Structure formats: structure tokens, C-alpha cells
Amino acid sequence: MTAVAILGEKPLVSVEARIVSVGRRRGMGIFLVLASALMLTTFGLGVSPGARTTFELTSMYSTAWYIAPLHFPVRETSIVMAAVTAALGVWLVVRRRTRGSYLVFSLGVVLFLWSFLAWAARNNELNLVGMIGVTLISAVPIIFGSMSGVMCERSGVINVAIEGQFLMGAFIAAMIASASGDLWLGLVCGAIAGGLLGGLLAFLSLRYAADQIIVGIVINAFALGLTNYLTDTLLVPYQNTLNSGPIFGPVAIPLLDKIPIVGPDVFDQNIFVYIAIVLLVALTTGLFRTRWGLRVRAVGEHPEAAETVGIHVLTVRYHNVIWGGVIAGIGGAAFTIGSTGEFSSDMTAGLGFVALAAMIFGRWRPYGGLLAALLFGFSNSLQATLSVLNVPINPNILVMAPYLITIAVVSGLVGRVRPPANDGKPYRPQ
């Protein structure tokens, strides 16, 4: 991780390195060897020799340039991929250097998923473009939540209240948009609702030095109870006027939406996808390329040193936590006016905590959180795809996939991570 020292507002930056222990590297190698055995026996030798799979690379509803479907034999493909995956696993076990271990492991996982999808869609067709679209839509709220967490924790405040900010943003956005008929007003009000809960978290955590995790849990419980109550008393009796389901429609970006495979799913989406992209670029640039970002990171790493050069630590933290709540509120609005249009009780289903795991997985960096969010989104896409293909796997197991990944992340199975040095620690001005 990057350590920031302040001396006349000039950063002294240490080189970031990802540490992979010998035990973890060997564990990843053994995992790939076991996965290759499954690929060989079940996805390869367990399939009839004549079985073939078709991967559609262009949706029939797409305006992108046409790409011919990819046809290939399931048995032979899986056997070859099993051999490559086993070789990658053995290499991880015996090699001495740790650099590049995650890249090798990721390649093995991709080969396993390709073989698995080929087996699941044998003698059938699988639309990869559709899977990409579902992955992106499922990942959008998590992207906003992870950026909210980065904003707060880079300044030294743990934001466990993302779930509650999601709920309030979704509820207010749906109600205001339905009542007024103005989707943009609903989006702004949803963002403000998230910002207000962010302000409450900042006030209790910074003004009274309350335990930030406990305050976050209390805010989540408050938001859940309040939205359930208001849903029963307002939205259900006045469904047609306060919860009527308006949503943002897709907005195509000329030429970019014609790009094969990814064009229709990335550049012909509703406004929330574009807002997420803009915020990702802006937040990454702001945190690591501007004086504001240097001050934020200094406050999260060493607030005493930041104060000695004239940075008002509590002011920086107040601003970041409130703006983090605003970002989470936008993510909450994506659940309603960006997707279903209607609010339902507890519709976020714990995805605020998944967003926290995505932030940790991404090592407190916006683009790292993006990759983690796409991983969680892919698990939802995989669940939907397998249910359509009638794969003999219990659907309840597939539903658990995002949360199992969350447990793996927060338990440290993805590797050693270090948060900002003063993350979650109260600070009293000197």
C-alpha cells in the first residue's frame, strides 16, 4: 500500500507491492490442480464425444457489428483447458518467485469458467453478450457502494452504513420520481438522502468519537425500519402515485455502442452506468493526482502530521463522509429508478456489505473496487444463466455465491491487505 508522509505538502511515496506468501501461492496452485481434475473428469471425459457448444457473441437485439457465433466441441476443449490449468497450478506450487502469482491464478480461473460454461451449455447456445450486460447491471450499485467506502475510509472513517444509505436512496428516489414524474429530481433527492445519513455518521463518529462500526450498524437498522414503516404506510396505499415505477431508459453513445461484444452492454445503458464511469475516473484522479487527494490520504494515514501543516483533519473527514453518503445514495437510486422502478422492503438484500467487501478486495482503490464489483456481478449473471440452461445445480447454492465471495474476501483469503493506518480511529485535534 502507499504510505504518505507530509512535509510541506510534498508526498513521500513508498512503492506499493502485493505480498503473496509461499503458503498462499501453493494453496492457489493446489486449487488449480483440483479444478483441472474436475474439468477433466466432469466437463471433459464426462461429456459425450459429439457434444458441441455455441457461444453467441452478438445479441439479436444489438446494433453492434455482427460477429459470427463461436462453435467448439465441449469434450476436447475441456480436456485441453484442464491440461493447461493443471500446468499453471503445478507452476504455482513449484516456482520460487511470487510476482505474477495472482495473474497466473486468474488465468486458471478463467479457463475453468470457460470450461464450466461450455459444459453447462452443451448442445445449446449461450449468449455471452447477455451475460456481460447482466454482470454490469448487477455490479453498478456495488461500484457506487465501494466508491463510497473508499471516500470515507481513505480519510479514516469506516462506513458500515452503506446498506442504510442504499435503502434510503432507493426509497426517496422512487417516491420523489413517482410523485413528481421527474427522474432527475428523484436521483438528486436519493443522493441527498444518502448524504444526510453520511452526515449523521460523521456527526456521531467525529463529534462524539462514537465507535464507527456500531454507529454504522445502528444507521442500517434505522434505515431498514424507517423504510419498512414508510413503505407500509405510504407506498402500499398510494402505489399508483408514490411507487409507480418510472425508470431511466438506455442512452446510446454513437459509434461506441457499435463496438462488438461490449458496445451494447457498456455504451447503450442508463445514466447510472455513465455516472459510475465518470465518478471512477474523477475519484481515482482526485485521490492520487491532486492536492485534495494528498490531504485526504494524509488524514487517513497520519492525522497528526497532517494537522501540523495546517490541514483541518475533522473538516476533511466530515466532507468525505458526507460525499461518500451522497455516492451511496446514488447507488441506492440505481436499485429503483435505474432498474425496477419500484421500491420494496429490504430490496438491497445486504449488497451494502458486499460493497464493503469489494472495497477491501480492491485495496481501497476505486478501480480495484470496480474489478471486485464486476466479480460479484458476474456471480449474479452466472446464477441467472445457469437457471435458464437448467443446469442440475441447486439454485439456492448459486444465490449464495456473492455472499460466499464476500466471506472469502473479508476473511483474508484473497491475500494480505492493509487499510489506511488510522482507519476507524477517533481523532482529537491537538
Residue ranges covered by each domain of the chain: 22-122, 134-410
In this prediction the pTM is 0.88
- The CA distance from 177 to 2, in Å, is 42
Distances (CA, A) of 425 to 41, 59, 302, 304: 51, 50, 11, 12
Q: Report residue 297 as a C-alpha cell.
A: 490520504
Which 3 state secondary structure label does DSSP give 248? Answer: coil
Strands (E), 17-123: 52-56, 70-73
Distances (CA, A) of 120 to 53, 81, 134, 243: 9, 15, 18, 39
Q: Is the pLDDT of residue 397 over 80?
A: no
Q: What fold does the segment set 134-410 form as a domain? A: ABC transporter involved in vitamin B12 uptake, BtuC (1.10.3470)
Q: What angle do CA 126, 103, 288 make, to 5 degrees?
A: 105
Q: What angle do CA 39, 44, 47 make, to 5 degrees?
A: 130
Q: Is pLDDT larger for residue 197 or for residue 70?
A: 197
Query: pLDDT category, 20, cuts 50, 70, 90?
Result: low
Q: What is the pLDDT of residues 290-341, one digit of tens each?
A: 999 999 999 999 999 999 999 999 999 999 999 999 999 999 999 999 988 8
Q: What is the pLDDT of residues 193-234, one digit of tens each?
A: 999 999 999 999 999 989 999 999 999 999 999 999 999 999
Beta bridge partners of residue 5, listed in sequence order: 12
Go through the chain and tell me how many residues it has.
430
How far is the first Cα of the chain from the last one, in angstroms, to the nearest whole number?
27
In a 10 Å sphere around its CB, with 0-12 CB exposed, 13-18 middle and 19+ buried, how is residue 371 labelled? Answer: middle
Strands 52-56, 70-73: pairing is antiparallel
Which 3 state secondary structure label does DSSP give 250? Answer: coil
Average pLDDT of 167-172?
97
Q: What is the pLDDT of residues 343-379, one digit of tens each?
A: 999 999 889 999 998 998 888 999 989 988 998 888 8
Across the chain, mean pLDDT equals 87
DSSP per-residue codes, 1-41: ---EEEETTEEEEPPP-----HHHHHHHHHHHHHHHHHIII
Question: Could you tell me if 301 and 420 are in contact, meaning their C-beta atoms sit under 8 angstroms apart?
Answer: yes
Question: Could you tell me if 302 and 155 are in contact, meaning their C-beta atoms sit under 8 angstroms apart?
Answer: no
pLDDT for res 294: 94
Sign of the dihedral defined by the CA atoms of residues 177, 182, 186, 189, in that order:
negative
